[in-house]
Amino acid sequence: MTTRKTPPSGRDSRPRDAGAHRLKRMRNQGMKPPIETRRTDTGPTPDSVLDLGWGRLIFGQTFTDPDRIAEALEGELPDRRDIAVYVRDPHVVLANAPQEVFLDPSHTYRLELSTYRASRRAQSGFFLRRLTARTDAEAINRIYAARGMVPVPPDFFWSTRDARTVCYFLAEDETTGEILGTITGVDHSRAFNDPERGSSLWCLAVDPQARHSGVGEALVRHLAEYFAARGLAHLDLSVMHDNTQAITLYEKLGFYRVPYFSVKRKNPINETLYTGSDHDETLNPYARIIVREARRRGIRVEVTDGERGFFALSQGGRTIRCRESLSELTSAVAMSICDDKTATRALMEKTGIDVPAEITADAGREAVEAFLAAHARVVVKPARREQGRGVFVGLTTMEEVDHAIEEAGRLCDTVLLEECVEGEDLRLIVINYRLVAAAVRRPPSIIGDGRKTVGELIASQSRRRAAATGGESSIPLDAETLRTLKAGGHDTETVLPAGEELQVRRTANLHTGGTIHDVTDIVHPVLVDAAVRAARAIGIPVTGIDLMVRNPTAPDYRFIEANERPGLANHEPQPTAERFVDLLFPQSMPATVRQAAAETGNPEAHA
């Protein structure tokens, strides 16, 4: 596949800032970059504070009175994260307000821009540019949400897009136009007349589903070159002390530790940073998102088996035990229906929901051969199992079918053959018989860089997926992956040309490296109706309904399966955890939310 090296028409056609180009050209010619002179005789602006949308930067070196730093932090707005940086005497600030503030457990790193050397290796498959449209702000917030960061009002991004104090850069896929990552920079000279001519890096975030490698490094380098070309002396950043992956990248680029400290305000967002330990550390992301929402509402949480996702929630004398999104409100009958794909399919067919053709592997070889001949491509999967284990998609020969039946049979005595329905894998989260989130799930793919082998690219992509999901998603290098590579004419030793995309598995399950793309706002009403009818037929209050669809905006579909324990964390920022806790403890909902639910005719809102 050939990819263009310039952005598509209508987009910003400057993949790099002109100043950064000038800096590179001068260094290649042995010239020193220009030093922009600034008026510093008046000293820095006193008590300087800069709003960045997600919170404020409080520049501690501009405060002469430590009490004033604590007072500034007390002005933090709800759902925001203010940071007092470069605090000279953090112990004094903490002593004056021990119940309000805490010492941030982050390291400060610095890059000397006068000695920084730009990389001669050009990035492949994406380009860097400034924020240019309101949709960019929405894309940035989507990435922030995926990374657990505080979102920024889109209008704030737009209103500050031309400011010279703050700059935003984005990485955009050359082919799809998707935003892959973002970075924010602050010019200290313009922010508070910094006599040291410093700058800082904030909010480096890469989409955890980005298939390109090197996006984060490219963004950091671009920001460094941008500030160096403007005559600034250094670039600072703050990074959590245990973020070894980020620290490794920064040290590779020439950053080194400097003894500066930051102070933050005690609030729900920062809670795990100052309580001494993460009470949810044994829980996986799917249980943790629910536990944190419950604690936010004052609901008592008892983690009974964190490793397996078991916990109990209590409020007002009522206790409900859960395993991730599976609670006592789901009956054993509903759970057994979801667990047995043959039972689920029979119920859906009776309900009038479209289902694919299916037989069991023990129907006999002649029946299996006839089924394959009738449908050309089939799916083989165990009747019981989850997380995509033992599922083989797009089989076209009896040799492949025989192998798949043998492998699936190791997981379950009953093995199913389904017609292979072309289209996209759509997951709909239905809670309390209402759609809460919808997302298209896509199989994992890699993009070549002209240097790494397919095996190396898969390993790199798998590490990124695992890091972004708390170890819940990775790409197994198993028989199914090898079969998919072989079908595309490749193996693990193939070196993909730069920009070429290769799908490495047929299944879109998140646990085997699949990616998820939110379509809640555009999903067709017929698909929503099918999902809700399926949930009501099973009698299950919380479920993930899987459909194969031609397009999420079109009404055509085939039902695949129902999941009794869907991963709610996969659908952030949709309010899946909020609606789950609403279901369990309706009285914990704000009165306005309860009233709105009642007005829409939801009988469970009065429970």
The 10s digit of each residue's pLDDT in 539-585 is 999 999 999 999 999 999 999 999 999 999 889 888 999 999 999 99
What value does the mean pLDDT take over residues 206-225? 90
Q: Which residues of 264-295 are buried (b: 16+ CB within 10 A; e: fewer)?
A: bbbbebbeebeeeeebbeebbbbbbbbbbbbb
User: Hey, what's the torsion of the CAs at 170, 174, 177, 180, to 10 degrees?
Assistant: -40
Alpha-carbon gap, residue 125 to 175, rounded angstroms: 7
Q: What is the pLDDT of residues 282-332, one digit of tens each?
A: 888 899 899 989 988 889 999 998 888 899 999 988 999 999 999 999 999
Alpha-carbon gap, residue 182 to 114, rounded angstroms: 24
- CATH architecture assigned to 357-420: 2-Layer Sandwich (3.30)
Q: Which residues of 543-582 are buried (b: 16+ CB within 10 A; e: fewer)?
A: bbbbbbbeebeeeebbbbbbbbbbbbbbbbebbbbbbbbb
Residue 34 pLDDT class (50, 70, 90 cuts)? very low
Residue 214 has pLDDT above 50, yes or no: yes
Residue 369 has pLDDT above 90, yes or no: no
Q: What is the pLDDT of residues 398-446, one digit of tens each?
A: 888 888 888 888 888 888 888 888 888 999 999 999 999 999 988 888 8
Could you give phi then psi for residue 469, rounded to 5 degrees? -120, 15
Top-confidence residue, 538 or 133: 538
Q: Domain 111-258: which CATH class?
A: alpha beta
**CATH 3.30.1490.20 spans which residues of the chain?**
357-420
Residue 30 pLDDT class (50, 70, 90 cuts)? very low
Nearest to 204 by CA among 257, 243, 164: 243
Top-confidence residue, 599 or 341: 341
Q: What is the pLDDT of residue 388?
A: 61
CB neighbour list of residue 248: distance below 8 Å, 6 or more residues apart: none
CB neighbour list of residue 192: distance below 8 Å, 6 or more residues apart: 44, 45, 48, 50, 59, 62
Question: Which 8-state DSSP code applies to residue 546?
Answer: E
Instruction: List beta partners, residue 559.
Output: 547
User: Hey, what's the torsion of the CAs at 201, 34, 40, 92, to 10 degrees?
Assistant: 30
Nearest to 513 by CA among 564, 450, 459: 459
Alpha-carbon gap, residue 391 to 380, rounded angstroms: 6
**CATH 3.40.630.30 spans which residues of the chain?**
111-258
Q: What is the pLDDT of residue 596?
A: 63
Residue 257 pLDDT class (50, 70, 90 cuts)? very high
